[in-house]
A and B are shown apart, each in its own frame.
Chain A
Amino acid sequence: STSSNPEQYSSAVDWLGRYGYLPPPDPRTSKLQTMEGIERAIRVMQRFGGIQETGVIDSETLKLMSTPRCSLPDIVGSEDMLKRRRRRRRKR
Protein backbone atom coordinates (compact mmCIF):
# COMPACT_ATOMS: atom_id res chain seq x y z
CA SER A 1 0.00 0.00 0.00
CA THR A 2 1.24 3.47 -0.80
CA SER A 3 -0.38 4.94 2.27
CA SER A 4 1.15 2.67 4.87
CA ASN A 5 4.56 4.28 4.66
CA PRO A 6 4.32 7.33 2.43
CA GLU A 7 7.84 8.52 3.11
CA GLN A 8 9.42 5.22 2.16
CA TYR A 9 7.22 4.98 -0.90
CA SER A 10 8.00 8.51 -2.02
CA SER A 11 11.70 7.93 -1.51
CA ALA A 12 11.52 4.84 -3.67
CA VAL A 13 9.62 6.63 -6.44
CA ASP A 14 12.12 9.48 -6.24
CA TRP A 15 14.97 6.98 -6.53
CA LEU A 16 13.34 5.21 -9.50
CA GLY A 17 12.95 8.53 -11.30
CA ARG A 18 16.48 9.66 -10.56
CA TYR A 19 18.04 6.55 -12.04
CA GLY A 20 15.88 6.37 -15.14
CA TYR A 21 13.35 3.70 -14.24
CA LEU A 22 10.44 6.16 -14.27
CA PRO A 23 9.95 9.01 -16.72
CA PRO A 24 10.65 12.49 -15.41
CA PRO A 25 7.52 14.15 -14.02
CA ASP A 26 5.98 16.96 -16.01
CA PRO A 27 2.40 18.06 -15.28
CA ARG A 28 1.84 19.27 -18.82
CA THR A 29 3.13 16.32 -20.76
CA SER A 30 3.09 13.27 -18.55
CA LYS A 31 0.49 11.26 -16.72
CA LEU A 32 0.47 10.49 -13.06
CA GLN A 33 2.60 7.43 -12.45
CA THR A 34 0.28 4.44 -12.54
CA MET A 35 0.56 1.71 -9.96
CA GLU A 36 1.28 -0.70 -12.80
CA GLY A 37 3.97 1.63 -14.11
CA ILE A 38 5.63 1.89 -10.73
CA GLU A 39 5.46 -1.87 -10.24
CA ARG A 40 6.97 -2.36 -13.68
CA ALA A 41 9.73 0.09 -12.85
CA ILE A 42 10.45 -1.73 -9.61
CA ARG A 43 10.66 -5.02 -11.49
CA VAL A 44 13.10 -3.56 -14.02
CA MET A 45 15.17 -2.12 -11.21
CA GLN A 46 15.20 -5.48 -9.42
CA ARG A 47 16.14 -7.34 -12.62
CA PHE A 48 18.88 -4.81 -13.36
CA GLY A 49 20.21 -5.11 -9.83
CA GLY A 50 20.16 -8.89 -9.84
CA ILE A 51 17.69 -9.40 -7.00
CA GLN A 52 14.41 -11.26 -6.97
CA GLU A 53 11.72 -9.64 -9.12
CA THR A 54 8.77 -9.04 -6.83
CA GLY A 55 7.42 -5.75 -8.13
CA VAL A 56 7.12 -4.43 -4.58
CA ILE A 57 9.44 -2.37 -2.44
CA ASP A 58 10.65 -5.16 -0.18
CA SER A 59 13.64 -5.23 2.13
CA GLU A 60 16.03 -6.45 -0.56
CA THR A 61 14.93 -3.63 -2.85
CA LEU A 62 15.33 -1.04 -0.12
CA LYS A 63 18.76 -2.43 0.68
CA LEU A 64 19.83 -2.12 -2.94
CA MET A 65 18.40 1.39 -3.16
CA SER A 66 20.48 2.43 -0.18
CA THR A 67 23.70 0.92 -1.56
CA PRO A 68 26.29 3.57 -2.52
CA ARG A 69 26.43 3.94 -6.27
CA CYS A 70 27.26 6.00 -9.33
CA SER A 71 25.09 9.08 -9.96
CA LEU A 72 24.37 8.26 -13.58
CA PRO A 73 21.01 6.71 -14.44
CA ASP A 74 20.82 3.01 -15.24
CA ILE A 75 18.25 3.46 -17.97
CA VAL A 76 19.51 6.17 -20.26
CA GLY A 77 16.73 7.49 -22.47
CA SER A 78 16.07 10.91 -23.80
CA GLU A 79 16.91 12.38 -20.41
CA ASP A 80 20.51 11.29 -20.23
CA MET A 81 23.01 13.48 -18.51
CA LEU A 82 24.56 15.03 -21.55
CA LYS A 83 21.31 16.02 -23.20
CA ARG A 84 20.05 17.58 -20.01
CA ARG A 85 23.29 19.45 -19.74
CA ARG A 86 22.98 20.70 -23.30
CA ARG A 87 19.41 21.81 -22.74
CA ARG A 88 20.39 23.71 -19.63
CA ARG A 89 23.22 25.34 -21.50
CA ARG A 90 20.87 26.44 -24.27
CA LYS A 91 18.52 27.97 -21.72
CA ARG A 92 21.38 29.82 -20.10
Chain B
Amino acid sequence: YALSGLKWHKTELTWSLHNFPSPSRSPTLTHELVEGILTHAFKAWSDAAPLSFRRQQSDSGGGDIRVSFFHFLHDDGYPFDGRGGTLAHAFFPGRDEVAGDTHFDDHETWSYGGDGGSTDLFTVAVHEFGHALGLSHSSTDPSIMRPYYQGPVESIHNFQLDLDDRLAIQQLYGVKSDGLPGGVDPDLPVLPNPAPPKPTQPSEPSFPKRCQGGFDAVANIRGEVFFFKGAYFWRTTRDGSLLSLNPAEIKNFWTGLPAGTDKIDAVYERRSDSSIVFFIGSQYWVFKDTVAMSGYPRPLSEWGMIRKSGAVVDRVDAAFIWAHNGKTYLFSRGEFWRFDESRKDGQVTTRPEAGYPRDNSLWAGVPSNMDDIISWGGGDAYFFKDNLYWVLKSGGLNQDIVTPKSIAVDWLRCPAPPSTSTTANPRLPGKCSCDLRD
Protein backbone atom coordinates (compact mmCIF):
# COMPACT_ATOMS: atom_id res chain seq x y z
CA TYR B 1 0.00 0.00 0.00
CA ALA B 2 0.99 3.62 -0.28
CA LEU B 3 0.12 6.50 1.99
CA SER B 4 -0.30 10.10 0.90
CA GLY B 5 1.47 11.47 3.96
CA LEU B 6 -1.73 13.14 5.14
CA LYS B 7 -4.35 11.98 7.62
CA TRP B 8 -7.17 13.26 9.78
CA HIS B 9 -6.04 13.99 13.32
CA LYS B 10 -9.35 12.72 14.68
CA THR B 11 -11.29 9.51 14.30
CA GLU B 12 -14.86 10.84 14.40
CA LEU B 13 -15.48 12.15 10.94
CA THR B 14 -18.50 13.73 9.32
CA TRP B 15 -19.68 13.53 5.74
CA SER B 16 -22.36 15.02 3.57
CA LEU B 17 -23.98 14.31 0.23
CA HIS B 18 -24.49 17.44 -1.86
CA ASN B 19 -26.34 16.02 -4.83
CA PHE B 20 -27.29 12.78 -6.51
CA PRO B 21 -26.36 11.20 -9.82
CA SER B 22 -28.51 12.36 -12.71
CA PRO B 23 -31.57 10.13 -12.97
CA SER B 24 -31.30 10.18 -16.75
CA ARG B 25 -27.85 8.58 -16.70
CA SER B 26 -28.19 6.48 -13.58
CA PRO B 27 -31.86 5.53 -13.59
CA THR B 28 -31.50 2.52 -11.31
CA LEU B 29 -30.24 4.53 -8.34
CA THR B 30 -32.82 6.06 -6.05
CA HIS B 31 -31.75 8.63 -3.49
CA GLU B 32 -32.15 6.11 -0.73
CA LEU B 33 -30.03 3.60 -2.57
CA VAL B 34 -27.22 6.13 -3.13
CA GLU B 35 -27.26 7.05 0.54
CA GLY B 36 -27.16 3.39 1.49
CA ILE B 37 -24.31 2.58 -0.87
CA LEU B 38 -22.21 5.46 0.41
CA THR B 39 -22.92 4.56 4.01
CA HIS B 40 -21.75 1.01 3.35
CA ALA B 41 -18.66 2.33 1.61
CA PHE B 42 -17.72 4.30 4.72
CA LYS B 43 -18.47 1.25 6.84
CA ALA B 44 -15.84 -0.73 4.92
CA TRP B 45 -13.21 1.57 6.41
CA SER B 46 -14.74 1.92 9.86
CA ASP B 47 -14.84 -1.90 10.12
CA ALA B 48 -11.08 -2.02 9.74
CA ALA B 49 -9.98 0.95 11.85
CA PRO B 50 -11.31 2.90 14.84
CA LEU B 51 -13.10 5.42 12.67
CA SER B 52 -16.69 6.59 12.78
CA PHE B 53 -18.59 8.44 10.09
CA ARG B 54 -21.62 10.58 10.87
CA ARG B 55 -23.70 12.13 8.15
CA GLN B 56 -24.38 15.86 8.25
CA GLN B 57 -26.78 17.91 6.20
CA SER B 58 -25.06 19.52 3.27
CA ASP B 59 -26.42 22.97 4.19
CA SER B 60 -24.65 22.88 7.54
CA GLY B 61 -21.22 23.19 5.99
CA GLY B 62 -20.83 19.64 4.91
CA GLY B 63 -18.38 18.28 7.43
CA ASP B 64 -15.10 16.61 6.63
CA ILE B 65 -15.91 14.57 3.54
CA ARG B 66 -18.26 16.24 1.06
CA VAL B 67 -19.57 13.96 -1.66
CA SER B 68 -20.78 15.38 -4.97
CA PHE B 69 -21.57 14.29 -8.51
CA PHE B 70 -20.12 16.62 -11.14
CA HIS B 71 -19.41 16.60 -14.83
CA PHE B 72 -16.59 18.19 -16.86
CA LEU B 73 -15.24 21.39 -15.25
CA HIS B 74 -16.38 21.72 -11.68
CA ASP B 75 -14.13 24.38 -10.18
CA ASP B 76 -11.47 22.25 -8.60
CA GLY B 77 -8.96 22.21 -11.45
CA TYR B 78 -9.57 18.56 -12.27
CA PRO B 79 -12.31 18.35 -14.87
CA PHE B 80 -13.98 15.08 -15.68
CA ASP B 81 -13.88 13.71 -19.20
CA GLY B 82 -17.32 12.36 -19.98
CA ARG B 83 -18.27 8.73 -19.89
CA GLY B 84 -15.39 6.31 -19.33
CA GLY B 85 -11.85 7.50 -18.71
CA THR B 86 -11.69 9.02 -15.28
CA LEU B 87 -14.52 8.04 -12.95
CA ALA B 88 -13.94 9.94 -9.72
CA HIS B 89 -11.38 11.59 -7.47
CA ALA B 90 -10.98 12.71 -3.88
CA PHE B 91 -8.75 15.12 -2.01
CA PHE B 92 -6.47 13.90 0.72
CA PRO B 93 -7.13 14.89 4.36
CA GLY B 94 -5.91 18.15 5.80
CA ARG B 95 -6.97 21.63 6.75
CA ASP B 96 -7.39 22.77 3.19
CA GLU B 97 -10.90 23.77 2.19
CA VAL B 98 -11.19 20.93 -0.27
CA ALA B 99 -9.58 18.28 1.94
CA GLY B 100 -11.67 15.13 1.94
CA ASP B 101 -13.94 16.27 -0.89
CA THR B 102 -15.00 13.37 -3.06
CA HIS B 103 -16.27 13.90 -6.58
CA PHE B 104 -17.88 11.39 -8.92
CA ASP B 105 -18.20 11.91 -12.67
CA ASP B 106 -21.90 12.42 -13.30
CA HIS B 107 -21.47 11.36 -16.93
CA GLU B 108 -20.96 7.77 -15.81
CA THR B 109 -23.88 5.42 -15.53
CA TRP B 110 -23.68 4.64 -11.81
CA SER B 111 -25.40 1.56 -10.52
CA TYR B 112 -25.70 -0.87 -7.69
CA GLY B 113 -23.92 -3.95 -8.96
CA GLY B 114 -22.31 -2.47 -12.04
CA ASP B 115 -23.93 -4.72 -14.62
CA GLY B 116 -25.02 -3.85 -18.12
CA GLY B 117 -22.19 -1.50 -18.98
CA SER B 118 -22.65 0.63 -15.89
CA THR B 119 -20.17 1.45 -13.14
CA ASP B 120 -20.61 0.14 -9.64
CA LEU B 121 -20.90 3.09 -7.26
CA PHE B 122 -19.94 1.09 -4.19
CA THR B 123 -16.46 -0.04 -5.25
CA VAL B 124 -15.58 3.37 -6.62
CA ALA B 125 -16.85 5.03 -3.43
CA VAL B 126 -14.80 2.74 -1.19
CA HIS B 127 -11.73 3.55 -3.31
CA GLU B 128 -12.30 7.31 -3.22
CA PHE B 129 -13.03 7.36 0.50
CA GLY B 130 -9.68 5.62 0.88
CA HIS B 131 -8.10 8.71 -0.70
CA ALA B 132 -10.21 11.00 1.49
CA LEU B 133 -8.77 9.17 4.50
CA GLY B 134 -5.16 9.47 3.32
CA LEU B 135 -4.39 6.44 1.17
CA SER B 136 -2.70 6.65 -2.22
CA HIS B 137 -2.95 4.16 -5.04
CA SER B 138 -1.68 0.67 -4.41
CA SER B 139 -0.14 -1.68 -6.93
CA THR B 140 -1.09 -4.72 -4.87
CA ASP B 141 -3.65 -7.17 -6.18
CA PRO B 142 -6.06 -7.51 -4.48
CA SER B 143 -6.55 -4.00 -3.14
CA ILE B 144 -9.47 -1.63 -3.43
CA MET B 145 -6.88 1.14 -3.85
CA ARG B 146 -5.69 -0.10 -7.24
CA PRO B 147 -6.29 2.82 -9.60
CA TYR B 148 -8.29 0.93 -12.22
CA TYR B 149 -11.99 0.13 -11.99
CA GLN B 150 -12.31 -3.47 -10.90
CA GLY B 151 -16.03 -4.07 -11.22
CA PRO B 152 -18.57 -4.77 -8.49
CA VAL B 153 -18.02 -6.82 -5.35
CA GLU B 154 -20.08 -9.89 -4.63
CA SER B 155 -22.01 -8.36 -1.74
CA ILE B 156 -21.65 -4.92 -0.25
CA HIS B 157 -23.21 -6.21 2.99
CA ASN B 158 -20.41 -8.71 3.52
CA PHE B 159 -17.65 -6.69 1.93
CA GLN B 160 -14.36 -6.58 3.80
CA LEU B 161 -11.23 -4.73 2.84
CA ASP B 162 -8.33 -6.82 1.63
CA LEU B 163 -5.23 -7.17 3.78
CA ASP B 164 -3.30 -4.48 1.89
CA ASP B 165 -6.02 -1.92 2.51
CA ARG B 166 -6.51 -2.93 6.14
CA LEU B 167 -2.81 -2.55 6.85
CA ALA B 168 -2.82 0.84 5.18
CA ILE B 169 -5.76 2.28 7.09
CA GLN B 170 -4.51 0.77 10.35
CA GLN B 171 -1.11 2.32 9.79
CA LEU B 172 -2.85 5.68 9.80
CA TYR B 173 -5.56 5.27 12.43
CA GLY B 174 -4.73 2.12 14.39
CA VAL B 175 -6.75 -1.09 14.75
CA LYS B 176 -10.16 -1.46 16.34
CA SER B 177 -9.16 -4.08 18.86
CA ASP B 178 -6.47 -3.53 21.50
CA GLY B 179 -3.00 -3.66 20.21
CA LEU B 180 -0.46 -1.55 18.48
CA PRO B 181 -1.18 -1.12 14.81
CA GLY B 182 1.76 0.32 12.93
CA GLY B 183 3.80 1.43 15.92
CA VAL B 184 3.08 3.33 19.11
CA ASP B 185 2.48 6.56 17.30
CA PRO B 186 0.65 6.00 14.06
CA ASP B 187 1.27 9.60 13.03
CA LEU B 188 3.41 9.92 9.96
CA PRO B 189 6.76 11.67 10.08
CA VAL B 190 6.68 15.36 9.37
CA LEU B 191 6.89 16.11 5.66
CA PRO B 192 9.79 18.25 4.45
CA ASN B 193 9.04 21.90 3.98
CA PRO B 194 8.06 22.89 0.46
CA ALA B 195 10.58 24.83 -1.57
CA PRO B 196 10.46 28.58 -0.99
CA PRO B 197 8.28 30.39 -3.49
CA LYS B 198 10.06 31.85 -6.47
CA PRO B 199 9.31 35.45 -7.43
CA THR B 200 7.51 35.91 -10.71
CA GLN B 201 9.89 36.92 -13.45
CA PRO B 202 8.59 39.64 -15.72
CA SER B 203 8.42 38.80 -19.37
CA GLU B 204 11.61 39.67 -21.22
CA PRO B 205 10.62 42.23 -23.82
CA SER B 206 13.49 41.36 -26.12
CA PHE B 207 12.17 37.87 -26.67
CA PRO B 208 10.90 37.43 -30.21
CA LYS B 209 7.15 37.63 -30.39
CA ARG B 210 5.58 34.26 -30.85
CA CYS B 211 2.44 35.74 -32.33
CA GLN B 212 4.25 37.19 -35.33
CA GLY B 213 5.04 33.79 -36.86
CA GLY B 214 7.94 33.39 -39.27
CA PHE B 215 9.50 30.39 -37.59
CA ASP B 216 12.86 29.11 -38.74
CA ALA B 217 11.92 25.50 -38.05
CA VAL B 218 9.00 23.50 -36.68
CA ALA B 219 9.41 19.91 -35.52
CA ASN B 220 7.37 17.12 -33.99
CA ILE B 221 9.73 15.64 -31.40
CA ARG B 222 8.50 12.88 -29.13
CA GLY B 223 4.92 13.96 -29.60
CA GLU B 224 5.50 17.64 -28.82
CA VAL B 225 5.73 20.42 -31.37
CA PHE B 226 8.73 22.74 -31.18
CA PHE B 227 8.70 26.15 -32.87
CA PHE B 228 12.21 27.52 -33.39
CA LYS B 229 12.81 31.19 -34.01
CA GLY B 230 16.15 32.91 -33.69
CA ALA B 231 17.94 31.70 -30.57
CA TYR B 232 14.69 30.58 -28.90
CA PHE B 233 11.95 28.01 -29.15
CA TRP B 234 8.42 27.44 -27.93
CA ARG B 235 6.99 24.06 -27.14
CA THR B 236 3.43 22.75 -27.25
CA THR B 237 2.03 19.42 -26.15
CA ARG B 238 -0.29 17.16 -28.11
CA ASP B 239 -3.36 18.59 -26.47
CA GLY B 240 -2.45 22.07 -27.67
CA SER B 241 -1.07 23.39 -24.41
CA LEU B 242 1.73 25.90 -24.78
CA LEU B 243 4.20 25.12 -22.02
CA SER B 244 5.15 28.75 -21.54
CA LEU B 245 4.29 32.03 -23.18
CA ASN B 246 7.97 32.87 -22.98
CA PRO B 247 10.36 30.94 -25.18
CA ALA B 248 13.26 28.88 -23.94
CA GLU B 249 16.77 29.48 -25.16
CA ILE B 250 17.96 26.87 -27.62
CA LYS B 251 21.44 26.76 -26.09
CA ASN B 252 20.05 26.05 -22.63
CA PHE B 253 18.14 23.01 -23.80
CA TRP B 254 19.91 21.54 -26.81
CA THR B 255 23.50 20.92 -25.82
CA GLY B 256 26.19 20.72 -28.48
CA LEU B 257 25.21 23.34 -31.03
CA PRO B 258 27.84 26.02 -31.64
CA ALA B 259 27.87 29.05 -29.38
CA GLY B 260 25.92 31.92 -30.85
CA THR B 261 23.52 29.72 -32.79
CA ASP B 262 20.68 32.04 -33.71
CA LYS B 263 18.93 30.16 -36.48
CA ILE B 264 17.93 26.54 -37.00
CA ASP B 265 17.06 25.69 -40.59
CA ALA B 266 15.20 22.44 -39.99
CA VAL B 267 14.78 19.70 -37.40
CA TYR B 268 13.16 16.28 -37.38
CA GLU B 269 13.09 13.17 -35.22
CA ARG B 270 14.57 10.23 -37.10
CA ARG B 271 12.25 7.27 -37.30
CA SER B 272 14.78 4.46 -37.10
CA ASP B 273 16.42 5.36 -33.79
CA SER B 274 14.47 8.38 -32.47
CA SER B 275 17.56 10.56 -32.65
CA ILE B 276 16.95 14.20 -33.52
CA VAL B 277 18.60 15.75 -36.57
CA PHE B 278 19.34 19.49 -36.76
CA PHE B 279 20.25 21.28 -39.98
CA ILE B 280 22.07 24.59 -39.80
CA GLY B 281 23.58 25.94 -43.01
CA SER B 282 25.73 23.36 -44.73
CA GLN B 283 26.12 21.19 -41.62
CA TYR B 284 23.98 18.79 -39.64
CA TRP B 285 24.00 17.45 -36.08
CA VAL B 286 22.49 14.25 -34.70
CA PHE B 287 21.24 14.46 -31.12
CA LYS B 288 20.61 11.65 -28.70
CA ASP B 289 17.83 13.24 -26.71
CA THR B 290 19.02 16.76 -25.91
CA VAL B 291 22.76 16.25 -26.38
CA ALA B 292 24.63 16.23 -29.70
CA MET B 293 26.42 12.98 -30.43
CA SER B 294 30.17 13.04 -30.79
CA GLY B 295 31.51 13.46 -34.29
CA TYR B 296 29.09 16.20 -35.22
CA PRO B 297 28.62 18.52 -37.02
CA ARG B 298 29.14 16.79 -40.30
CA PRO B 299 28.80 18.24 -43.80
CA LEU B 300 25.39 18.29 -45.41
CA SER B 301 27.00 16.96 -48.58
CA GLU B 302 27.04 13.51 -46.94
CA TRP B 303 23.31 13.30 -47.67
CA GLY B 304 24.09 13.16 -51.38
CA MET B 305 21.54 15.74 -52.42
CA ILE B 306 22.35 17.13 -55.87
CA ARG B 307 20.15 19.79 -57.43
CA LYS B 308 18.77 19.42 -60.93
CA SER B 309 21.24 22.10 -61.85
CA GLY B 310 24.04 19.83 -60.65
CA ALA B 311 24.91 21.91 -57.62
CA VAL B 312 25.37 20.32 -54.22
CA VAL B 313 22.69 21.31 -51.72
CA ASP B 314 24.09 23.78 -49.22
CA ARG B 315 21.11 24.20 -46.89
CA VAL B 316 17.87 22.49 -45.85
CA ASP B 317 14.71 24.56 -45.65
CA ALA B 318 12.40 21.91 -44.21
CA ALA B 319 12.54 18.31 -43.07
CA PHE B 320 9.90 15.86 -41.95
CA ILE B 321 8.87 12.24 -41.91
CA TRP B 322 5.63 11.68 -43.77
CA ALA B 323 3.60 9.41 -41.54
CA HIS B 324 1.79 8.23 -44.67
CA ASN B 325 4.81 6.21 -45.83
CA GLY B 326 7.43 6.58 -43.11
CA LYS B 327 9.91 8.18 -45.53
CA THR B 328 12.05 11.20 -44.73
CA TYR B 329 11.70 14.30 -46.92
CA LEU B 330 14.23 17.12 -47.11
CA PHE B 331 13.42 20.36 -48.93
CA SER B 332 15.83 22.93 -50.30
CA ARG B 333 15.33 25.90 -52.62
CA GLY B 334 12.16 24.61 -54.27
CA GLU B 335 13.21 20.98 -54.62
CA PHE B 336 12.85 17.97 -52.37
CA TRP B 337 14.50 14.61 -51.87
CA ARG B 338 13.13 11.43 -50.30
CA PHE B 339 15.10 9.07 -48.04
CA ASP B 340 14.44 5.62 -46.68
CA GLU B 341 16.09 5.76 -43.28
CA SER B 342 15.16 2.30 -42.14
CA ARG B 343 18.20 0.65 -40.60
CA LYS B 344 20.16 -1.65 -42.85
CA ASP B 345 22.87 -3.74 -41.18
CA GLY B 346 22.64 -1.50 -38.15
CA GLN B 347 23.41 1.61 -40.17
CA VAL B 348 21.13 4.46 -41.14
CA THR B 349 21.63 5.28 -44.79
CA THR B 350 21.56 8.91 -45.85
CA ARG B 351 21.32 8.62 -49.62
CA PRO B 352 18.30 9.92 -51.50
CA GLU B 353 16.06 7.56 -53.37
CA ALA B 354 16.22 7.42 -57.14
CA GLY B 355 14.11 9.89 -59.06
CA TYR B 356 14.82 12.85 -56.82
CA PRO B 357 14.95 15.82 -56.59
CA ARG B 358 11.44 16.76 -57.53
CA ASP B 359 9.79 20.15 -57.54
CA ASN B 360 8.05 21.37 -54.42
CA SER B 361 5.11 22.27 -56.63
CA LEU B 362 4.07 18.62 -56.50
CA TRP B 363 2.67 19.40 -53.07
CA ALA B 364 -0.34 21.17 -54.48
CA GLY B 365 -2.26 23.69 -52.47
CA VAL B 366 0.54 24.67 -50.09
CA PRO B 367 3.38 27.19 -50.38
CA SER B 368 6.33 25.87 -52.33
CA ASN B 369 8.84 27.69 -50.14
CA MET B 370 7.57 26.53 -46.76
CA ASP B 371 9.33 27.30 -43.47
CA ASP B 372 8.95 23.73 -42.26
CA ILE B 373 6.68 20.68 -42.23
CA ILE B 374 5.61 18.13 -39.64
CA SER B 375 3.45 15.03 -39.49
CA TRP B 376 0.79 15.47 -36.83
CA GLY B 377 -2.54 14.24 -35.60
CA GLY B 378 -3.65 11.18 -37.49
CA GLY B 379 -0.69 11.32 -39.87
CA ASP B 380 -1.60 14.54 -41.69
CA ALA B 381 1.18 16.74 -43.08
CA TYR B 382 1.27 20.27 -41.68
CA PHE B 383 3.04 22.93 -43.79
CA PHE B 384 4.14 26.09 -42.01
CA LYS B 385 4.86 29.39 -43.72
CA ASP B 386 5.06 32.82 -42.10
CA ASN B 387 2.14 32.86 -39.65
CA LEU B 388 -0.05 30.34 -41.47
CA TYR B 389 -0.23 26.59 -41.75
CA TRP B 390 -1.82 24.25 -44.25
CA VAL B 391 -2.92 20.68 -43.56
CA LEU B 392 -2.65 17.98 -46.22
CA LYS B 393 -4.74 15.05 -45.11
CA SER B 394 -2.98 11.76 -44.59
CA GLY B 395 -1.51 10.53 -47.84
CA GLY B 396 -2.84 13.49 -49.79
CA LEU B 397 -0.60 15.27 -52.23
CA ASN B 398 -2.90 17.01 -54.66
CA GLN B 399 -5.45 18.91 -52.67
CA ASP B 400 -6.02 21.99 -54.76
CA ILE B 401 -7.83 23.98 -52.12
CA VAL B 402 -6.22 23.85 -48.72
CA THR B 403 -7.40 26.64 -46.47
CA PRO B 404 -4.60 28.00 -44.32
CA LYS B 405 -5.07 28.64 -40.64
CA SER B 406 -3.26 30.81 -38.12
CA ILE B 407 -0.23 29.36 -36.37
CA ALA B 408 -0.44 32.06 -33.72
CA VAL B 409 -4.07 31.38 -32.84
CA ASP B 410 -4.14 27.60 -33.18
CA TRP B 411 -0.73 26.70 -31.79
CA LEU B 412 0.66 29.56 -29.75
CA ARG B 413 -2.27 30.88 -27.74
CA CYS B 414 -2.43 34.26 -29.44
CA PRO B 415 -5.64 36.25 -29.79
CA ALA B 416 -7.52 35.94 -33.06
CA PRO B 417 -7.31 38.96 -35.34
CA PRO B 418 -10.34 41.27 -35.11
CA SER B 419 -11.61 40.56 -38.62
CA THR B 420 -11.15 37.80 -41.14
CA SER B 421 -9.99 38.38 -44.67
CA THR B 422 -10.22 36.22 -47.72
CA THR B 423 -7.35 33.81 -47.89
CA ALA B 424 -5.30 33.68 -51.00
CA ASN B 425 -4.39 30.52 -52.78
CA PRO B 426 -0.61 30.40 -52.25
CA ARG B 427 -0.03 29.30 -55.82
CA LEU B 428 -2.31 31.84 -57.44
CA PRO B 429 -1.97 35.10 -55.57
CA GLY B 430 -4.61 36.79 -57.67
CA LYS B 431 -7.17 34.07 -57.15
CA CYS B 432 -9.14 33.70 -53.96
CA SER B 433 -10.23 30.51 -52.28
CA CYS B 434 -13.27 31.14 -50.14
CA ASP B 435 -15.33 29.11 -47.77
CA LEU B 436 -18.85 29.74 -46.58
CA ARG B 437 -17.80 32.01 -43.72
CA ASP B 438 -15.76 34.21 -46.02
Residues of chain A touching chain B, judged by Cβ–Cβ distance below 8 Å, are 1-4, 6-7, 9-11, 13-14, 19, 25-28, 31-35, 38, 47-50, 64, 67-74, 76, 80-86, 88, 90
Q: Which 8 A-B pairs give the minimum distances between C-beta atoms? A: A10-B223, A10-B238, A71-B89, A27-B248, A3-B271, A71-B86, A48-B139, A34-B289
Q: Distance in Å from the Cβ of B66 to the closest Cβ of chain A?
A: 15
30 contacts between A and B (CB under 8 A): A2-B274, A3-B271, A3-B375, A6-B220, A11-B238, A13-B223, A14-B223, A14-B239, A25-B235, A25-B243, A26-B243, A27-B234, A27-B248, A32-B224, A32-B290, A35-B274, A38-B222, A48-B137, A48-B139, A69-B86, A69-B87, A70-B87, A70-B89, A70-B137, A70-B147, A74-B136, A76-B4, A81-B92, A85-B76, A88-B77
Closest to B328 in A: A3
Q: Would you call B2 an interface residue if the criterion is a C-beta within 8 Å of the partner chain's C-beta atoms?
A: yes
Cβ-defined contact, A85 with B85, below 8 A? no
How far does the alpha carbon of A28 sit from the alpha carbon of B223 in the complex, in Å? 18
Of residues 86 through 108 on chain B, the ones whose CB sits less than 8 Å from some CB of chain A are 86-92, 94, 96, 98-99, 108
Contact check, B274 vs A27: say whether CB atoms are below 8 A apart.
no
**Roughly how many angstroms separate A8 CA and B96 CA in the complex, as a whole number?**
37
Which of B23-31, B159-167, B299-307, B376-384 faces chain A?
A: B376-384
Given contacts A32-B221, A70-B137, A82-B99, is CB(A3)–CB(B94) below 8 Å?
Answer: no
A69, chain B: closest CB distance, angstroms = 5
Q: Given the complex, which residues of A lie within 8 Å of B86, measured CB to CB? A: 68-71
Which residues from B are CB-within-8-Å of A84? 77
- Asked if B6 is at the interface of the complex by the 8 Å CB criterion, the answer is yes
Chain B's nearest CB lies how many Å from the CB of A31? 6
Q: Which of A32, A33, A83, A88 has the most CB of B within 10 A?
A: A32
CB of B72 within 8 Å of the partner chain: no
User: Is B372's beta carbon under 8 Å from chain A?
Assistant: no
Identity of the chain B residue whose Cβ is nearest the Cβ of A50 in the assembled complex? B141
Report yes or no: B88 in contact with A71, Cβ–Cβ below 8 A. Answer: yes
Query: A80 with B289: in contact, given A14-B239, A32-B221, A70-B86 (CB under 8 Å)?
Result: no
How far is A85 from B76 in the complex, measured between Cα atoms in Å? 8
CA distance A80 to B84 in the complex (A): 23
